[in-house]
Chains A and B, each alone.
Chain A
C-alpha cells in the first residue's frame, strides 16, 4: 500500500505534475463548452434551413450549401479537420491553439447537431405547423414557438450523446500540441516513465465528467417531461 502511495507521490506530487492534469482539464472543458455552443447555434441554423427546404421547397441555394457542408464535415475525420484548420487555414498566422480547437470541434459538432435537430423537426406532426399557420402565425413564429421546443425535447437524448462524444473527441487536441487533459496525462507519462497512473487518472476524470453530464441531462429531461404526465 505504501508502495502505491509512493508511486502516486512520485507521479503527481513531485514537481507539482498534477497541474498538468488540472490545467489540461481546464483546457478540455473550455474547448468542449465553447465548441458545443458553436455546434448548437450553427447546428440549429443548418437544421432550420434543411427542414424548411424539406417542408416548403424554399431556400434551395442555402440548402445546397448546407448539404455540401454536412457531406464534407461528416465525410472526413475530425482530427484531419483539426490539422487542416491549424496547419493549412491558419498555417501562416500565429494563432491561439485553444481558439483553433474550439473552432474545429464547433464546426464539426454543428454538422451532427444539425442532423439531430432536423430529425426532431421532421418528427413533429404536420398538424402542429397547420395549427400555428391557421392562427395567423408566420412560418418562423410557428417554428420558434411551437416546433423547435417540441423537437428539442424529443432529440435531447441524442443531443446529449453528441456532447458526450464531443467531450471525448477533444482528446485529440494533442495533435496540434494543445495541452488538454489527455495531453497532460501523456506529458506526465513521458516525464515519469509511469504509464499506468497518469493514463488511468485521465480516464477516470473523463468518466466522471461524462457521468455528471449524463446526470444533468437526465434532470433536464425530467423537467421537460412535465407536460407528458396524464
Chain B
C-alpha cells in the first residue's frame, strides 16, 4: 500500500532521514520506536507529505506521491488519516463540527450524511454526549479520541499516528490505546510512532527501530523485544523497558 524508496530528508545541513526503504502492506500495523531525534516523526510526516522529502520516492496505492501537485496531494491526504501528538482539534468549532468540517467542505458528504457519520463515530469512540461541546471542555484523552474520530470521518485507507499518547496524563493513555487497538482489530492499516512498548508488543504486526535517520532494525514484536540484535536497540530497550 505504501512503498518508500531511497527516502532522504534534510533540513539545511541536518540530514534527518538517510536512504530509507520500506514497504507497508494493507492491513499491517507498523509501530515505529526509537530515541528522540531519530527521525521517526519526520518519516511519518513524509508519508502524507506534511514534510516534503529532499529526495526519494513514496508510492501510495501505486502512485508516486512525491511527484504530485498540490491538488493531488490534498486528494491523497483524504485517504491518509493523521493523528497528532497535540490533537490539533479546531478550538472554535463544536466536536460535531470538528468531525464534519472536512467531509462537508470537500463535498464528500451532505451535511445530513456527515452528521450521521459523526454520530456513529462519536458512539464508537464513546463520546456521543459531547457532540455539542467545544474542545476546551474535554480532557486530553477525550480530545485525542475526537481527533481519531475526525480522521476516521474521511474513511481513510491508512491511519498515521504521531506519538498520540505523549501529551496525555498517564491515566488517559489507556483510553486512547484501547481505541487504537479496536481500530487495529477492525483491520485498519496503521503506522504508529509511539513510546508505548506495551502497545507495540500487543498490536504491532511489525516493529521498526529508527536510529540516526535509518531503520536500524525491524522484526515481529516477539522477536523485536525478546531477541534484539543490534547493540543500539539493546541499549534503547534496556532504557525504556523498566
* Interface residue ranges, A against B (CB under 8 Å): 125, 127-128, 130-139, 141, 145-146, 149-150, 153, 226-230
Contact = CB atoms under 8 A, between A and B. Distances in A.
A149 B98 CA distance: 14
A227 B88 contact: no
A141 B77 CA distance: 14
B136 A153 contact: no
A134 B135 CA distance: 19
B91 A135 contact: no
Interface in B72-102: 74-78, 80-82, 84, 86, 88-94, 101-102
Among all A-B residue pairs, the 6 with the closest Cβ atoms = A136-B78, A131-B88, A135-B102, A134-B82, A127-B88, A227-B134
Contacts of B102: 132, 135-137
Nearest to A146: B90
A146 to B, nearest CB: 6
B50 A230 contact: no
Interface of B: 48, 50, 70-71, 74-78, 80-82, 84, 86, 88-94, 101-102, 105-106, 134-137, 150-151, 154
B130 to A, nearest CB: 13
Majority DSSP secondary structure for residues of A touching B: helix
Contacts of A137: 74, 101-102, 105-106
Nearest to B79: A136
Given A227-B134, A227-B136, A229-B137, A135 B86 contact: no
Given A135-B150, A138-B74, A228-B136, A150 B105 contact: no
A150 B137 contact: no
A153 B93 CA distance: 13
A153 B90 contact: no
A132 B70 CA distance: 14
Contacts of A229: 134, 136-137
A148 to B, nearest CB: 10
A60 to B, nearest CB: 17
Contacts of B150: 135
A134 B74 contact: no
A135 B154 contact: yes
B90 A136 contact: no
8 contacts: A125-B88, A130-B88, A131-B88, A131-B89, A135-B78, A137-B102, A227-B134, A227-B136
B29 to A, nearest CB: 19
A230 B90 contact: no
A133 B77 contact: yes
A153 B134 CA distance: 15
B116 to A, nearest CB: 18
Contact of A145 (B89, B105, B136): B105
Contacts of B88: 125, 127-128, 130-131
Contacts of B80: 134
Nearest to B102: A135
Contacts of B101: 135, 137, 145-146
Among A127, A131, A139, A153, the most chain B Cβ lie within 10 Å of the Cβ of A131
B112 to A, nearest CB: 19
